[in-house]
Chain A
Amino acid sequence: MTADGHTDRAALTSEQDRKTTLSADLPTAQPAPSATAPAERPSATATQARSVSLRELRAFYGREEQLKGIDLEFEANQVTAIIGPSGCGKSTMIRCINRMHEEIPGARAEGRVLLDGTDVYDPSVDVVAVRRMIGMVFQKANPFPTMSIFDNVASGLRLTGRRRDLDLRVEQALRGAGLWDEVSSRLSEPGVSLSGGQQQRLCIARSLAVEPEVILMDEPCSALDPIATLKIEELIDQLKQQITIVIVTHNMQQAARVADRTAFMLGGELVEVGPTGRIFTNPNDPRTEEYVTGKFG
């Protein structure tokens, strides 16, 4: 394993990683516990996006096999869209990436999910550390109802024990989510007092605050109006410069607008993956062609 892999594993397995700077990714650097690390970190360019590889990923709900062996690469600093009809396993797949799938009673996954070479399912890996590096935005915005806007964005930091420079980090996260101008004057208002689109951007800010390297989005715009959707798509375009993004969407136009690469899934299997343009105009697999031309799904 490369020195980079060693660094990753140490970051993933460290339980004291509240002081570990995840941005110390230089091949020879060991994660250095440093109390001043957050203050040294320059603003948006601190996180280094990582690539994710799925190797023979299978997922089960009880006995039922939902994912039947997926091999897929998500490139760093790119947006990859997952499209496919309902029930094809898109959401299950991304939940396997940040190990949320196993939170469902009776659910389990097999295979490997490599984050820059380290398998997140390795027994020595701390699942909590995985989720700090791989964030998730859900289909329906779920801001914490008892918290203000500020506290919502800071919640990820407080829940993971990082309490320094909260004001600064909350502002950065809100700017990163394109929400700062709209809420900077009312940070103490309840998070649930925002509109639907704003709540979803609040959830994105909440995820950004913990400085993940990958963000998984599970149909983030399906409950939003077109204008809110557009704002989030613009956001995705900016975020990919720092973060790897995987977005599940049932909206093919959205995939076409937003994604660098697109993967088509059907019945728990990966049918085809490639540059978005090619998938939509010149797919290799006839099933892909049928789906993107609207013949089913």
Chain B
Amino acid sequence: MSPRETASLAALTGDARLRRRRMLNHGMEALATLAALAAVAVLALVIGSVLLKGIGAINLDFFIHSEVPFGQTGGGIANAIVGTVVLVALASLMAIPVGILIGIHTSEFARPRTSAAVRFALDILNGVPTIVTGIFIFGLLVVGNQQSGWAGATALAIVMLPIVARAAQEVLTLVPSTLKEGALALGATRWRSVVRIVLPTAAGGLITGALLAVARVAGETAPLLFTSSIISTTGVSTNPGHALTSIPVRIFELTEGYSSNERAQAWAAALLLIVAVLALNLLARWLYRRASPASSMGTRVR
């Protein structure tokens, strides 16, 4: 090679500094990949261990029977399952309409400053530790009274509200104003155009928000600890007038149980809860993709 070629080759292929830089790049890439794998691994570990430890106690009795008196084996969490369903249903009845109305307020009636303030308040509410919410409702509804399903459901509703409301706000403001204009120009009243045109157009996102909120509170323990945990009657009950047991609270109790049977049931209940929450989340995602703007609005290419 000529001197010139040698010099140029040296300049381009480099030296120790280049090798160090390459190693650093590869190192960073490896580290980042490991971190991502760790996240997946943790999830797999959690689900895996719950699955392994809980699957043994899953049987028909588990779903059909309620707890058995102290000392006996067998029994299940039927009352907790029913209790969770009742509590979450009542909480949904309270939180979902209010959340949607908040979304309507933001998209239809509020000035930008007002809606920004409401968003801020909702975000703060979302961040309130659920045990604080539990204590609040305890002080409001239980003190001087007794625990009840209503109190528990109210506490859960407060946890649900910001999730539903924020989702509603996002999704309703995304509805194109051309649609609202079209409805108004036909001679519809404001309210009718919201109910008949805007809400159905945003339905996918609203349902998703509701499902995510349900998935969140189905597993919340703290709001129920003080409001709906001391059960006076064993066996399935649907009466929210007195405290109703729930899956998360039951897990809490079973974990401290004396017999290995009870502890095994705790794992099984945890498994049930994870599966239910996972299913709800997947359902919410699937629904959202189905009803997303890309598929339902806009012309099909002909």
Contact = CB atoms under 8 A, between A and B. Distances in A.
Contacts of B181: 100, 103, 138, 142
A98 B299 contact: no
A192 B185 contact: no
B296 interface: yes
B59 to A, nearest CB: 45
Given A103-B181, A158-B196, A159-B192, A145 B297 contact: yes
A132 B187 contact: yes
A205 to B, nearest CB: 12
Given A142-B181, A144-B197, A193-B299, A155 B111 contact: no
Contacts, number: 84
A181 B200 CA distance: 29
Interface in B168-195: 176, 178-179, 181-189, 192-193
A132 B189 CA distance: 11
A249 interface: no
A203 interface: yes
Interface stretch (A67-75, A194-202, A278-286): A194-202
Given A144-B201, A159-B183, A192-B297, A128 B178 contact: no
B184 A145 contact: no
Contacts of A214: none
Contact of B186 (A103, A131, A194): A131
Interface string A177-198: 0000000000000001111100
Contact of B299 (A133, A144, A155, A192): A192
A100 B299 contact: no
A176 interface: no
A128 B196 contact: no
Nearest to A145: B297
A131 B193 CA distance: 13
Task: Please indicate which of the listed interface residues A159, A160, A192 has the most CB atoms of chain B within 10 Å of its own CB.
Answer: A159
Interface string A143-174: 01110000000011011100000000000000
A131 B184 contact: yes
Contact of B182 (A105, A129, A196, A203): A203
Interface in A200-219: 203, 206-207, 210
B300 interface: yes
Between A103, A145, A193, A206, the greatest number of chain B beta carbons within 10 A of the residue's beta carbon is seen for: A145
16 contacts: A131-B185, A131-B186, A133-B187, A135-B185, A144-B182, A144-B183, A144-B197, A144-B201, A146-B200, A146-B296, A155-B197, A156-B186, A156-B188, A159-B192, A192-B296, A192-B300
